[in-house]
Structure 1
């Protein structure tokens, strides 16, 4: 029995030695791009590539496909992909780079196309720094490969690296102006205003790293928010002002570009915001005062001169100077009076609050606008009641009426339009409130992310 175990162990050792020897020959062939040697090895052992995936020899940090790709051996790479396309999904042990990462870094367009044909979703594969092949192509200025990757999987360009950096941030960080220009041409403007984990837009970063051509390119070719604030509450102009310690040419060009784009420091931004806010409040105050005065005037006229007029003589049934409708339809006239009074009191309340000298803010204006909604609605209801009382007094006795006349149809249509308008206004404010809450939630999530995660530093691999 012991002899059988010994023989088995010797057989296993011999197999391992043979596999290691074959693997070394495979890597030697990959280094040389020796396609005949590869074909010969596959003829001797058709499963050698399968065994690499299963056993992964520890002495080699990269697969044969990694090696062939890094050295630009196109035909050798194609043959490995033909024999074992799964190797395109393998990541090396040191940097977690895929073969597509390497081709993107080196700018091997033909090899990148071959890899994309087999495994296009490897555009989303991330290395240890959170970068996918699209990021790697951009930071190395490989425009042709970048275009191929972008066409294969455009969404990969929207992925963020560690630290929340977008592909545009990486272009600025690694001084790849041409890659930045290409991406600004082919991508939409939404990505331009994205911020990294420090709240910096690409404009913040370009100014901080003193790259005037980058700054000019961003300002000329995008709809970037020029006065956006980072987590330190600084605009791009603030960063330029703080970092400018001499009158170098780069500083002068950056300052000139920012001034032409009307960039502001945070103090000026706040002043402009406060000025705009004051103007908005003043405009709203003036509009509310005009509308409240108009509604108050109309309600006052209905009160002293009700629909149907006043009795001109005294009899047993009425007294001169009293409302005709109050005698003919007292119940409905009371509804009209209540509605009109609500409109009058609401509008007068708004007028009193506006001229009282109280400090008015957005919340105060919002409350007044709500009161005006009540006044406008009451005025509308008063009008409808007045029309009903004038056109058909018998309706209030019989509780029946013919809806065929044109004035009934007009009233119903007006009521439907009014209800729809009020519903749209309410829906609009509801959506606005929900969107505001969602944005606040996103900001809270970003702050939490920044608190718990730190930025890692990227080191280009030696392949």
Structure 2
């Protein structure tokens, strides 16, 4: 680099820069042709000259992603030098600079985590959420680096962000499971690193917040996190660490996730689907469910207006049908009564023929069932935080549908059939819960993991999983299996 250009960059003198460009128009172009070079933007970034750096990015945007001979970009140097204002200005100009990989595969975001600059950490995550997926050449995630560098505050923020992020990788839980159980090139998960460094608070945080931890995972030496914890307890290792003050947003990320967790999972599901598909489902579902429910209240042919003999005037076709030989066939009438039941001819019940009513009932039930399922999905995808307000009325609508069909049934047998389905759907949520819980293929494995997790909690002096905590974990596990049926991981 021309010494005069270097001096202009070190002093932040943009006037001198344009004088040099006027004397030699190719002065910046020659630098850009070198693959790894110290550019004027590198120098200005290290010194914190914001105006000069922005001017240089305007003239040569490629300089922002160019690495110097040490394998560092301008944003790398600005982070290392603590030039936070300049870092934020570069971030505003191009958020992709956060993901530029330098020496060892380290990005500026990795350096922010290693240095524990929590203000920049939050700003980077807001501007470029994808940066959390970058790994080093040693397969280390930002979570690994935070633990290895004893940046406890940064680690707590990352875990809080992971629980709240709407990002998905195919299914609702796949991204969170992937990040929580990522292994570096030595087979170390987050549990292994925290256990080896005796970071008790971080181990407790992981066990409390992450259902998906592979607690039995082994490192390259064949050790599980529990074995490392027990070995550390025997040696009596204790590491003291200081906690620093954080801003309001940082504290919010560090707080435990409670009911917000449900909303996060719903938003992840919503963001994985296309808007056009959701809108189409909403329109079609609303029309179909309206037509079906109306037909249950007013079946084709109407209903009997009076009881007994008074109904003959309302249904002359049935009176005429009784004069035909088929109606006098004892065998036909007997089989018809056994299968469909005898007509009650009560006021308020359907007039239609029993056989036709069977076809009508089956088609109505099948269509209504699929429509209700789609409607729940639409509500879930479009606005999950309203699910509790929408799902309950929808569920009651389904029960009232079968109640209406029970009352309108033309025969006692059909009334019992509808009554059975009304009771079945009344207990359906509970049946679904227990069936998924009992018939899951990996239920034994999950029980073993819960026992192992409790052993880790005991070794760390934590309370064992109580009924409420166990129920929460089981619920998330069942949700994972349910979503996995129609949203497989990619």
Q: TM-score, normalised by structure 2?
A: 0.47
Q: Which has the larger radius of gyration?
A: 1
- Choose between structure 1 and 2 for higher RCO, CA contacts under 8 A separated by at least 6 residues: 2
Scaled by the length of structure 1, the TM-score of the pair is 0.49
